[in-house]
């Protein structure tokens, strides 16, 4: 009976600690996040509330009307860089991030 009680207390504690660790990893850069996710067993995604954690961890603080943050991107041909601030007051800019594969 005592062992069962200890297990009933310990399992939720371990679950919360693991969720906290995953949330901390989600707040890191892509290189850290992908390294951890590559080693996470698929079965874990059945018990992890992945989407709510991800949305909370990656939520930005920008509001409509806020100035865009500084951004510098390499061009497709990798020969130069484009800075978002270069377009300020000149023309509208649309950024599309994603994969077309």
In the three-class reduction of DSSP (H, G, I as helix; E, B as strand; rest coil), residue 97 is classed as: coil
pLDDT band, very low/low/confident/very high, at 91 (cuts 50, 70, 90): confident
Question: Rounded to an integer, what is the distance from CA 93 to the centroid of its chain?
Answer: 24
Task: State the average pLDDT over residues 69-73.
Answer: 85
13-31 average pLDDT score = 92
Euclidean distance between CA atoms 56 and 85, whole angstroms: 28
pLDDT per residue over 33-59, tens digit each? 999 999 999 998 899 999 999 999 988
Domain ranges of the chain: 2-57
Long-range contacts of 10-16 (CB under 8 A, 24+ apart): 15/47
- pLDDT-derived band at 101, boundaries 50, 70, 90: low
Q: What is the pLDDT of residue 88?
A: 86
């Amino acid at each position: 009976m005592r062992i069962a009680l200890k297990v009933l207390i310990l399992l939720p504690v371990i679950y919360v600690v693991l969720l906290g660790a995953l949330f901390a990893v989600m707040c890191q850069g892509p290189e850290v996040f992908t390294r951890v996710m590559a080693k996470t067993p698929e079965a874990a995604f059945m018990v992890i509330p992945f989407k709510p954690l991800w949305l909370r961890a990656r939520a930005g603080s920008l509001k409509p009307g806020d100035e865009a943050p500084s951004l510098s991107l390499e061009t497709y041909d990798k020969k130069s860089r484009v800075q978002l601030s270069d377009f300020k007051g000149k023309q509208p800019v649309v950024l599309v991030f994603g994969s077309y594969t």
